[in-house]
Amino acid sequence: MDIDALRSRHPDHWMRAAAIRALTLDAVAAANSGHSGMPMGMADIATVLFEKHLKFDPKAPHWPDRDRFILSNGHGSMLLYSLLYLTGYEDMTLQQIKDFRQWGAVTAGHPEHGHVAGIETTTGPLGQGIANATGFAIAEEALRARFGKKVVDHHTYVFAGDGCLMEGVSHEAVALAGMQKLGKLIVFFDNNDITIDGQVSLADITDQTARFAACGWQVQEIDGHDPEAIHTAIVAAKADPRPSMINCKTHIGLGSSAQDTAKAHGALTDPKLISDAKSVYGWTTGPFEVPGDVKHWWESLGQRGAEARADWQSRLDALSDGKRKQFDAAIAGEAPRKLSATIKALKKQVTETAPKQATRKASENVLEVVNPIFPETIGGSADLTGSNNTKTGDLGIFSPDNRTGRYIHYGIREHGMAAAMNGISLHGGLKPYGGTFLVFTDYARPSIRLSALMKQPVIYVMTHDSIGLGEDGPTHQPVEHVSSLRAIPNLQVIRPADGVETAEAWEIALTTPDRPTVLALTRQGIPTVRTDHKTKNLTAQGAYVLAEAEGKRQAILMATGSEVHVALAARDLLQADGIGTRVVSMPSFELFADQDEKYRRRVLPAGSAVRVGIEAGIRHGWDRWLCGERGKEAKAGFIGMDSFGASAPAETLFEKFGITAEAAAQKVRDLL
C-alpha cells in the first residue's frame, strides 16, 4: 500500500479521512480496548459518502427525510462516533470521544441506538445492521408511496464487513432486499480479507459480488481508498433501480504496522505503533486534537443538509392540511384516537357471542377492525400467512409493483423478518407486526433481543404456542419459549386466554411506545372465559382475578392463555369438594410485575391458600409468582411440561402430558 501516493493524490481528502483514523487510534488507546482497524480501513469511504452524498443535518438529527447511515460492522464504532463528532452533532462532544467505552458515556463499545442522535440502530451482533437496513428501505418506499417523493426521498447506506456477510441473517436480508428491489439501499462491503481468526480464506471463499448478483442486486467492485472511484460508484448505485452492493477492497488498519493483519481488528494501543501511524498519515497534532481547518471542513458538510432540509420543510408546508396531519401523526407514531373505542366494541361483541375460537383467529379479528383505522400498520409473516392469521382484507401486498401494499411476504426468514421490523420501527412512520410459529422465535431471537434493547415497539404475532399445535410434533412445539422470551429484559410477552384478552393484548401492543410485544397465540380453539363485559383493559394489569373463591379461599389457580379455561374447570371440581378456589388469569408476567405492590398483593395475597400455576410450557420463571419475591408466601405447585412434546392430536397431548383440570385439582388437594 503506497500511502504517500494516496496522500499526494488527494491531499485534502487525505487529512479529512485521517481525522477519523487519528481519533480512533486515540480513543481506543485511552480506553485500552476497542477496534481500531475497521475505522482506519473505511475512513475514505465514509469521508466521500458524507462529503458528497449523505443527506444529513447535525442540527436536526431527527429530520424524517434524512438519509440513514448504518454501521453494520458495529465494532468499528469509533468510525461513527468520529463522524458525529467531526460533523458537529451536539451530544457527541470531544469529552464523549475521550470517554469511549466508559461508564455513563454515550460512546459505548458498540453503537447503541438512543445514546445519541445519529446512531440509527444498535449494531455489534453481526449481520443485524444490514438486515435492519432492509426495513429502513422498506419504510422509505412505503412512506414515499403514501406521502409522495416531495417529502419522503432518502437513501439507506450501510457499511458491512466479512462478519456481517458470513452471518446467515445477511442472506435473508440480501435476498429480501433483492426481491423487493429496494433501489435506495446501498451497501458498502468492507472487503479487507481479515477476520479475528486471520485471513478470511481460513473460513470463506465466497465470491460476495456474485452472491449479491444472484439475489438481484446491482454490484460494483472498487478500490475502497480511491475517493473518485468511491464517488463514481455511489452515483451509479443511486442511478440503478436495484439495491446496490459496492465491494470495496480495503486495508484494515491502513497505514499502521498492523495493516492487513488480524491484529488490526482489535485494539491497537502500542504507543509506537500509534505515533508511527500518525506520522505516516502526516498527522502532527496531539491526541484528540483535530486541526482547525479539518474540523471546520467537516462541520461545513452539514450546510448541504440544512439547505436540503429547508427546501424539504417548504415542500412539507405545501402539503394539504389533511396530508400534513397524516404525515405528522405517522412520524409521531401514535395510535389513532379511535383505537380505544374500536377495541372496546370488539370486546363487547366477543363477550356477547362467546365463541370457542383459536386466539390466532381472535387476533385476525382484531386486525380486521384495527388495520382500517390505523394506516401505519404494516403486517407480514415468514411464509405462514394462513396459519398466523396476520393478513386482513384491506391490506394489499407490498411489492416492487405496489408500494402502497401493507402486507409483506417475508419468505421463510424469521430472523430477517424480525431484523427488518426493527428497521421499519426505527425508521419511523410505520408500525410493523409479523408472524411465525412461536417455536421459531428461536430463529429470530437475536433480533427480538435488539427490539427490546432498542426499545422498539415491534409486534411479534407468534401462533401455535404450545403442544396444542398437535401433530407437527416436538420440533414445532414450543415448550420453553414463553419462558425464555420472558427472560429477555424489556420484552412484554402476552399470552391471552380468549378473544377478549387478545383484543386487550393488541391494544397494549399498539399503544406501548418503548418496548416490543410478543403475542403468544393458540392454534387450537378455546372457549371464551371473559363472559362479563368490562371496558377496562384488564390484561394491562398483567394478572387479575377472573373468578373468586366461594367460601374460604384455600387455593389460587394461576394460568395463562389456553390453560385459563383449564383452571376454571379445575375450580369447578374443587368448589364441588368445598375447596374455595380463586382463578387468576395471568396473561403477562411483565405487566403484572409493573403493577404496584398493593395491587399484586390483592391478586396474590400471602397466606395459607396454596398456589398452583397452569401453563402448557415449563415451570422455569413461574416460582416468582408461586412463592413470592421474598419466598415463604405460599405452598405451591405447577401443572405444565417438563420435556419436549410429541407428535399426536392436540387433545391427546394435553391428556398424555397431564395438563388437565383433574390434574390441577389433584395438585391442589396434594398441597392442602
Residues 630-669 that bind a copy of itself (CB under 8 A): 630-637, 642-644, 646-649, 652-653, 656
Three cell numbers at 582?
Answer: 380463586
**Residue 556 φ then ψ, to 5°:** -125, 120
Is 471 a binder of a copy of itself (CB under 8 A)?
A: yes
d(CA 64, CA 367): 27
Residue partners of 176: CB distance under 8 A and separation at least 6: 134, 410, 411, 413, 416, 420
Is 197 a binder of a copy of itself (CB under 8 A)?
A: yes
Q: How far is the CB of 660 from a copy of itself (least distance, A)?
A: 15
Q: How far is the CB of 437 from a copy of itself (least distance, A)?
A: 10
Task: Provide the CB-side half-sphere exposure for 19 (13 A, CA).
Answer: 28
Q: Pick from 39, 468, 470, 587: which binds a copy of itself (CB under 8 A)?
A: 470
Size of the site for a copy of itself (CB under 8 A): 119
Q: Pick from 125, 423, 429, 561: which binds a copy of itself (CB under 8 A)?
A: 125
Q: Pick from 9, 59, 98, 109: which binds a copy of itself (CB under 8 A)?
A: 109
Stretch that binds a copy of itself, among 41-49, 145-153, 353-361, 613-621 (CB under 8 A): 613-621
Q: Pick from 58, 76, 124, 379: which binds a copy of itself (CB under 8 A)?
A: 124
Stretch that binds a copy of itself, among 54-62, 223-231, 246-254, 487-495 (CB under 8 A): 487-495
Q: How far is the CB of 52 from a copy of itself (least distance, A)?
A: 31
Catalytic member of 414, 504, 590, 633: 414
Residues 516-555 as x/- pattern, contact with a copy of itself by CB under 8 A? ----------------------------------------
Residue partners of 174: CB distance under 8 A and separation at least 6: 130, 211, 212, 215, 217
Q: Are 182 and 432 in contact (CB under 8 A)?
A: no
Nearer to a copy of itself, 31 or 521 (CB): 31
Q: Pick from 47, 456, 483, 541: which binds a copy of itself (CB under 8 A)?
A: 483
Q: Pick from 8, 90, 94, 168: which binds a copy of itself (CB under 8 A)?
A: 168
- Provide the 3-class DSSP secondary structure of residue 92: coil
Q: Pick from 136, 443, 460, 544: which binds a copy of itself (CB under 8 A)?
A: 443
Binders of a copy of itself among residues 33 to 52 (CB under 8 A) are 33-34
Neighbours of 306 (CB within 10 A): 16
Nearer to a copy of itself, 58 or 637 (CB): 637
List of E strands, 334-410: 377-381, 407-409
What is the CA angle 67-53-247, rounded to 5?
A: 95
Is 59 a binder of a copy of itself (CB under 8 A)?
A: no
Q: Is 629 a catalytic residue?
A: no
Give the orientation angle of helix 321-332 with respect to helix 128-147, to 10 degrees.
160
Is 167 a binder of a copy of itself (CB under 8 A)?
A: yes
Residues 488-507 as x/- pattern, contact with a copy of itself by CB under 8 A? xxx-----------------
Q: Are 425 and 455 in contact (CB under 8 A)?
A: no
Stretch that binds a copy of itself, among 18-26, 199-207, 305-313, 318-326 (CB under 8 A): 199-207
Nearest 10 degrees: Cα torsion 608, 612, 613, 615: -170
Three cell numbers at 104?
Answer: 455513563
Residue partners of 157: CB distance under 8 A and separation at least 6: 49, 53, 54, 67, 68, 69, 70, 186, 187, 188
Is 195 a binder of a copy of itself (CB under 8 A)?
A: yes
Give the orientation angle of helix 564-576 with respect to helix 661-671, to 10 degrees.
60
Nearer to a copy of itself, 437 or 544 (CB): 437
Q: Pick from 149, 202, 272, 322: which binds a copy of itself (CB under 8 A)?
A: 202
Stretch that binds a copy of itself, among 193-201, 225-233, 354-362, 426-434 (CB under 8 A): 193-201
Is 213 a binder of a copy of itself (CB under 8 A)?
A: yes
Q: How far is the CB of 398 from a copy of itself (least distance, A)?
A: 11
Pairing of strands 431-437, 68-71: unpaired
Partner residues linked to 244 by β-bridges: 186, 218
Q: How far is the CB of 583 from a copy of itself (least distance, A)?
A: 19
Nearest 10 degrees: Cα torsion 295, 299, 300, 301: 110
Stretch that binds a copy of itself, among 191-199, 282-290, 342-350, 569-577 (CB under 8 A): 191-199
Measure CA 306 to chain center.
30
Stretch that binds a copy of itself, among 48-56, 60-68, 299-307, 624-632 (CB under 8 A): 624-632
Is 487 a binder of a copy of itself (CB under 8 A)?
A: yes
Nearer to a copy of itself, 153 or 240 (CB): 240
Neighbours of 670 (CB within 10 A): 11
What is the CA angle 170-173-179, rounded to 5?
A: 135
Residue partners of 408: CB distance under 8 A and separation at least 6: 138, 378, 379, 380, 397, 398, 417, 420, 434
Task: Provide the CB-side half-sphere exposure for 316 (13 A, CA).
Answer: 19
Is 141 a binder of a copy of itself (CB under 8 A)?
A: no
Q: Are 102 and 190 in contact (CB under 8 A)?
A: no
Q: Are 16 and 82 in contact (CB under 8 A)?
A: no
Q: Are 185 and 134 in contact (CB under 8 A)?
A: yes
Binders of a copy of itself among residues 379 to 418 (CB under 8 A) are 381, 383-387, 397, 399, 409-413, 415-416
Binders of a copy of itself among residues 2 to 21 (CB under 8 A) are none
Q: How far is the CB of 484 from a copy of itself (least distance, A)?
A: 4
Active-site residue set: 414
